[in-house]
Amino acid sequence: MSMEISSLTPGVLVDTPAARVAVQPAAGRLSLRARKAALPALGAALGVSLPTRIGQRAAGGGIEAICLGPDEWTILTPADAVAGLLAAGAGVDHPHSLVDISARELTLRIQGPRAADLLTLACPRDIDTIPVGEGRRTVFDGATVVLWRDGENSFRMDIWNSFAPHLARLMGIGARELAAEPA
Amino acid sequence: MLLIHCPYCDETLPEAEFTYAGEAHVIRPPDPSALSDDDWQGFLFIRSNTRGPHYERWRHFHGCGRFFNAVRDTVSDRFLTTYPAGQPRPALETLTAASEDRK
Amino acid sequence: MSQYRVPGRGRVDLSRPVDFTFDGRSYRGAQGDSVASALLANGVHLMGRSFKYHRPRGAIAAGSEEPNALIGTSRGAGRFEPNTRATMQEIWQGLETTSQNKFPSLKWDVGAVNDAAYMLFSAGFYYKTFMWPKSFWNKVYEPFIRAAAGLGTAPTEADPDQYASRYLHCDLLIVGAGPAGLAAARAAMAEGLRIVIVDENAEPGGSLLSEPQARIDGLPAWDWLDDELAALKAAGVRIMTRTTAIGYYHYNMLALCERVTDHLPSLPADTPRERMWRVRARQVVLAQGALEKPLVFHGNDRPGVMLAGAAQTYLNRYGVKVGNAPVVVTSHDSAWYAGFDLQEAGARVQAIVDTRPHVRDDLMDQARALGIPVRLSHTVTATSGRLRVSGVRVNPVSGAAVGAGQQITCDALLMSGGWTPSLHLFSHTQGKLAWDDDLTTFLPHETREACVIAGAGRGLWGIEAALTDGAARGREVAAALGHPGNPAAVSVENDRPGSGVSQKELPTDRNPGRAKAFVDYQNDVTAKDLRLAVREGMRSIEHVKRYTTNGMATDQGKMSNINGLNIAADALGRPAPQVGLTTFRPPYTPTTFGAFAGYQRGAHFEVTRKTPIDPWAEAHGAVFEPVGQWRRARYFPQPGEDMDTAVRRECRQTRESVGIFDASTLGKIEVVGPDAVTFMERMYTNPWAKLGVGRCRYGLLLGDDGYIRDDGVIGRMAEGRFHVTTTTGGAARVMNMMEDYLQTEWPDLDVWLTSTTEQWSTIALNGPNAAKLLAPLVEGVELTEDAFPHMACIECTVAGMPARLFRVSFTGEIGFEVNVPAPLGRKLWEILWDAGQQYGIVAYGTEAMHVLRAEKGYIIVGQDTDGTVTPYDAGMGWAVGKKKPDFVGKRGLARPDLAAKGRKQLVGLLTEDRSKLEEGAQIVFDPNQPIPMKMVGHVTSSYHSDAAGRPIALALVEGGHDRMGEVVHIPMPDRTIAAKITGTVFVDPENTRLKI
């Protein structure tokens, strides 16, 4: 991996016996903001039941939703479904905000026997307190990230584009460092 | 590094996820133009600088993004409680016992 | 094998010899040796020179508290480490070590003249000596002090090693893997509990490693230790060795520094040298044990004089006799055992000298049985020997009377003044200490942290006491964690509990004013210095500490604090608990900067944000500059161009034809909701209600104090949707401010904010040919003056990409900002670049952008404003919606001071001699006034301007708006420059160039 990367394209960043970190292909991503009263209508329009506890996730009809704040959700969807969802949201009568952020960030997939340990290099929160199947917005090496825990040692990390090279560099260092540790 | 309980996330998390946001319960007057210069100056600049339990604001910046209120003892640097923005000040008498509960 | 190695003793592996060098000479040690133990095994006691007097010194301890035996270690370029404690550095094949503080050699050191001039260098020497004449300070005194100061030599090469850091969360962290810590873990461990034990030594065991004679539950101590460690590991307890708990912070956060490779003969790939662990533990057990105190007497620093406990460790852990004819001098039972062990290992102990009149019968009996002469009620008044102790003078004491001295020949002197609980980490918690009269020491008392102390750390001596207390504390923390804990009953045979008395300096029959009785070895502080400090008026222990530097060396007073306190208290005539202890601060032991920096060095020093177009700029030779966290292209020099030439070319081509600029770093916020316009009305000074969809406006953001915070162009994309832009550096701050007002002042508003800074790549095109270049690529709008006038915005398609197109100008030329989804930014840039070749398109950087905007008088918030500038000060009263009932800053602008005359106001400056001013230069009205002159403002922006035909500047000047045409003066080091105050617009004041 070049130390001077300034943009990342989908593919494997680093692959060691400890952890494998890959940039995921681009996906559709929407930021939804609304009060609780609007949730049933918005859920129906978007086709996913929106979870209400921060960190909780829901999935259905090819899209995933995570609750990030008391009035905030991120919706993941195939890239070609974004326009349809925006249109569906526009039809909902309750006040809300639906903003396309597909181009704002990219996703790293972090897997391998030491994947959770790799996150401890720069995430000050206790990774063990994120249940499998949930997610959290938190901080990693100075950047705000959304961490999706898909398995004990399988994570996705959403990061804003401009922070990606910095974080990717640390992922590379860390995956190699963990692999070099004596058993 | 402090541990802070976010009342919205209901999790106790490292300080690195939070930013400090000044004294709490300083409410912007609904019609600032109606205020005298002295009153407006008081709102803008005068803060309590408390020794002991201090009502203050934090933001869960790298989390749910919400501003919330806290009572922190400025001598011991321990939080006595945190609560959502907009809620009234909790009475101090009710707090001292709860201070060490969150271990 | 050397005559000091004792076969059958110690844990080093004599079958695995290890060769290393010390001051160029080769020595052989064994696998498991420290540098100190290996040198002692070779009969070498002289390991360093002291800091101030350059006195010869040897290892006095065997652990991290060692103050004397500081060495340099080397493993190649950039890998030289000064001030390493020889007692902690493990040897490996090929390790090179050197002594410090000596010239030309350790044995013949010219600095040792300081020792002869001892009387001159007493406490406060620097304060008294370097006072006058004042003129000597810069040229004579400071260079002298600097040359003499500093411990060890810093390497000059860059450190080639990697350093690491990690967070660790656990239920229970136990500091110290001695008997108390291990017992605590055993008693607390339970399914699902995350327990971590940390120890600074190479192997766990603590005092058990020095006490193999003990039998625990019927097993020899070391066998019991092996079983115990295996059981803990099997239960999932994590044991971290070579890892020092350096600091204890709020809410049970501890910093641990792990030394990963310093003990390895070769460096493994991808492995950091050190790793900083930031641990958050729900419960903490401090089981750090106790530190032995030296006795304070004349000559107590001679090589060969060492702590009795250290001698015992060297013998039992490393298999090294520190001498063949040692003398023991003590005020505590524990040192007797060191004498017994050495005698049994073949040394001839010359005497055990105890200051106490009575000693336990069993100790007396054992000494007699081993044939060791004993002297009770004795003091030590001197030692002899040059580079190694060769004799000790002992005197009987009867009441206050010290009898005649008698010389005993020896080759080592083992001393013990009793033990001090290791209080450092506990003190980091702001924990309160309590004085214990029986032990004459401070013990940990109360702390706010979820922390308990076990074993010798709270004054309990002996293995059985440590195991029993450790288990009890383990169950206590288990209960706090909601577990019952595990029962434990241990039996210990051959335990060595003991007691003793605490001493100030030992009584002497000689003039105590001439005694070199050291309290702080590393800083060369003597008992006499402490008494002198009190005599000269120091009353607080904190002042005594600073005046004498007692406890201020890199060992942080581990050995000196209690002795220093006892002596200062005696001199003050007050009881020790009333005098109190100085504050212990992190780190517990010296820690490298690398460990603190971790990954944050070199290319990874800090977050560097880059735009999608950044790679193009890099490929086209851009010179970058940091702006906030971003790196931005500053200019694009062509071969042979300096910055000035490149910027002039970029400006000229933009004004003559067209320039392209990466504006992606501008902050962008999508404001959406039915109350969006209400929110905008309240946040910004400008009126928004009448701004039509498809139009944009320059917005000015104030704080409630009335001062400018940020600015940017804001487009209305739909009735309830605004595309807000902010300055590059202000994006996060503005978002935070808006969220604050929205969440806490106006939570009733139905409007939400989403950061879209990184959703969009923003490309600015400026220049007379900008519309011509762009028009063929745009679908959805005609780029004509009527269809798409200045300050219009639209969602359309550019080069087939979905885009938000703004017609705005930050140059005074026809201007567009094209926003496309970020990953498409580079592609669009290249399309525009190619299409622009026919117009001679130029890529310009932030420097040209600054010139072009300054020529038009457009401000940069944070450069032309400084947080005390109002819109009126900046000449932008036109942006203030005076009819609005309220907006953030409206009431602030009405404050008397903000409406007063004589405020600093933004103006243009043109120098009379056509020279370019320095940004930041101060301005005065009268250059002939006496110094200090009254400064009336400063230059905020200054550039060469080809478009204006001369250098131009912006400045904040007192009452500037009323001083048009007046001349002000800018005093510089070599001359004073006169400049005329003008308006801020230097080019095209009628804005004719904006028209297509």
pLDDT (tens digit, 9 = 90+) per residue, C547-606? 999 999 888 889 999 999 999 999 999 998 899 888 889 999 999 999 999 999 999 999
Judging contacts by C-beta atoms under 8 Å, the chain B residues touching residue C282 are 103
The nearest alpha carbon in chain C to A159 belongs to C758
Facing residue for C253 by CB, picked from B1, B27, B35: B1
What pTM, to 2 d.p., does this model score? 0.94
For chain A, list the contacting chains (3+ Cβ pairs, <8 Å).
Answer: B, C
Q: What are phi and psi of C407, to 5 degrees?
A: -90, 135
Best A107, A159, A161 residue to mutate vs chain C (most C CBs within 10 Å): A161
Judging contacts by C-beta atoms under 8 Å, the chain B residues touching residue C896 are 37
Of chain C residues 282-311, which have a CB less than 8 A from chain B? Answer: 282-283
The domain in which residue A77 lies consists of 28-100
Type of residue at A108 = L
**Which is it for the CA torsion B90, B93, B94, B99, positive or negative?**
positive
CA distance A149 to A56: 11
- What is the length of chain B? 103
Q: Do B17 and A54 touch (CB under 8 A)?
A: no
A6 pLDDT above the threshold of 70: no
Strand order in the sheet with C215-216: C219-220, C215-216, C492-493
Best B3, B6, B61, B62 residue to mutate vs chain A (most A CBs within 10 Å): B62
Q: Domain boundary residue among A54, A80, A100? A: A100
Q: Which two tokens stand for residue C806?
A: 């703004």
Residues A68 and A107 in one domain: no
Q: Do B44 and C480 touch (CB under 8 A)?
A: no
| Alpha carbon separation from C244 to C197, C255, C258, C278, C386 (Å, rounded) | 11, 8, 6, 12, 36
Q: Do A180 and C751 touch (CB under 8 A)?
A: no
> Which class in CATH covers the domain with range C163-290+421-493?
alpha beta
Flag whether residue A180 sits within 8 Å of chain C, measured between CB atoms. yes
Q: Is CATH 3.30.2270.10 the right assignment for the domain spanning B3-101?
A: yes
C4 pLDDT above the threshold of 90: yes
The pLDDT tens digits for A16-29 are: 999 999 999 999 99
CA distance C724 to C135: 60
Q: Which residues contact B83 (CB under 8 A, 6 or more apart)?
A: B7, B68, B69, B70, B90
Facing residue for C739 by CB, picked from B33, B35, B65: B65
Judging contacts by C-beta atoms under 8 Å, the chain B residues touching residue A66 are none
Type of residue at C224 = W
The nearest alpha carbon in chain C to A142 belongs to C607
CA distance C416 to C711: 71
What per-residue confidence (pLDDT) applies to A1?
33
What per-residue confidence (pLDDT) applies to C73?
96
CA distance C36 to C67: 12
With tokens 């909790």, the residue in question is B90
Q: Which two tokens stand for residue C457?
A: 């750390």
Q: Which fold has domain C512-587?
A: Arc Repressor Mutant, subunit A (1.10.10)
C103 pLDDT band, cuts 50/70/90, is confident
**Closest residue by Cα to residue C769 from C801, C800, C815:** C815
As a CATH number, domain C294-416 is: 3.50.50.60
Residues A132 and A75 in one domain: no
Q: Do C704 and B19 touch (CB under 8 A)?
A: no
What per-residue confidence (pLDDT) applies to C132?
67
Which DSSP letter does residue C858 get?
-
What per-residue confidence (pLDDT) applies to C146?
66
Q: Which two tokens stand for residue C768?
A: 């007379």
Flag whether residue C743 sits within 8 Å of chain B, measured between CB atoms. yes
For chain B, list the contacting chains (3+ Cβ pairs, <8 Å).
Answer: A, C
- Do the domain assignments include residue A3? no
Residue C948: how many other CB atoms lie within 10 Å:
17
**Closest residue by Cα to residue C985 from C883, C859, C892:** C859
CA distance B51 to C224: 52
- What is the length of chain C? 996
A157 pLDDT above the threshold of 80: yes
Judging contacts by C-beta atoms under 8 Å, the chain A residues touching residue C758 are 103-105, 160-162
CA distance C33 to C54: 27
Q: Is CATH 3.90.180.10 the right assignment for the domain spanning C901-994?
A: no
Residues A122 and A171 in one domain: yes
Judging contacts by C-beta atoms under 8 Å, the chain C residues touching residue B31 are 885-886
What per-residue confidence (pLDDT) applies to C119?
64
- Do the domain assignments include residue A137? yes
CA distance C517 to C504: 11
Q: Which two tokens stand for residue C121?
A: 């260098």
Q: Which residues contact C845 (CB under 8 A, 6 or more apart)?
A: C617, C622, C623, C632, C633, C634, C635, C636, C647, C650, C661
Best C169, C172, C250, C251 residue to mutate vs chain B (most B CBs within 10 Å): C251
User: Is the distance from CB of A130 to CB of A55 less than 8 angstroms?
Assistant: yes
C200 pLDDT band, cuts 50/70/90, is very high
CA distance A39 to chain B (A): 18
Q: Domain boundary residue among A39, A65, A100? A: A100
Judging contacts by C-beta atoms under 8 Å, the chain A residues touching residue B17 are 124-125, 138-139
Over its C-alpha atoms, chain C yields an Rg (Å, rounded) of 38
For chain C, list the contacting chains (3+ Cβ pairs, <8 Å).
Answer: A, B
State the DSSP H helix or E strand holding residue A45, giving kind and residue range, or none if neither: helix A39-46
Q: Do C599 and A121 touch (CB under 8 A)?
A: yes
User: Is the distance from CB of C83 to CB of C152 less than 8 angstroms?
Assistant: yes
Angle subtended at Cα C556 by Cα C279 and Cα C240, rounded to the nearest 5 degrees:
30
How many CA atoms lie less than 13 Å away from C603 in the CB half-sphere? 13
B100 pLDDT above the threshold of 50: no
Chain B contacts to C (CB-CB under 8 A): 1-3, 14, 19, 21, 27-28, 31-33, 35, 37, 40-41, 44, 57, 59, 61, 65-67, 76-78, 85-86, 100, 103
CA distance C4 to C368: 25
In chain C, residues under CATH classification 1.10.10.1100 are 512-587
| Alpha carbon separation from C891 to A148, C371, C901 (Å, rounded) | 45, 93, 18
The nearest alpha carbon in chain B to A142 belongs to B16
What per-residue confidence (pLDDT) applies to C126?
66
What per-residue confidence (pLDDT) applies to C106?
78
Q: Which residue has the higher pLDDT, C576 or A65?
A: A65
Calculate the average pLDDT of chain A.
94
**Parallel, antiparallel, or unpaired for β C451-453 and C274-286?**
parallel
**Which is it for the CA torsion B61, B63, B65, B71, positive or negative?**
negative
In chain C, residues under CATH classification 2.40.30.110 are 901-994
Query: Between C560-572 and C541-548, two packed helices, what is the crossing angle to 10 degrees?
Result: 120
H-helix segments, C702-760: 731-740
- Do the domain assignments include residue A5? no
Flag whether residue C704 sits within 8 Å of chain B, measured between CB atoms. yes
Q: Which two tokens stand for residue C529?
A: 């210095």
| Alpha carbon separation from C2 to B39, C15, C27, C42, C319 (Å, rounded) | 85, 14, 11, 6, 11
Q: Do C167 and A120 touch (CB under 8 A)?
A: yes
Share of chain A above pLDDT 70, in %: 96
The pLDDT tens digits for C391-418 are: 999 999 998 899 999 999 999 999 999 9
Judging contacts by C-beta atoms under 8 Å, the chain C residues touching residue B2 are 250-251
- Do the domain assignments include residue A68? yes
Q: Which residues contact C973 (CB under 8 A, 6 or more apart)?
A: none
In chain C, residues under CATH classification 3.50.50.60 are 163-290+421-493, 294-416
Share of chain B above pLDDT 90, in %: 87
Q: Domain boundary residue among A47, A82, A100? A: A100
Alpha carbon C95 to chain centroid, angstroms: 29
Q: Which two tokens stand for residue C847?
A: 């420097």
What per-residue confidence (pLDDT) applies to B101?
43
**Count of helices and strands (H, E) across chain B:** 1, 6
- Do the domain assignments include residue A43? yes
Q: Do B78 and C448 touch (CB under 8 A)?
A: yes
Facing residue for A97 by CB, picked from C271, C752, C760: C752
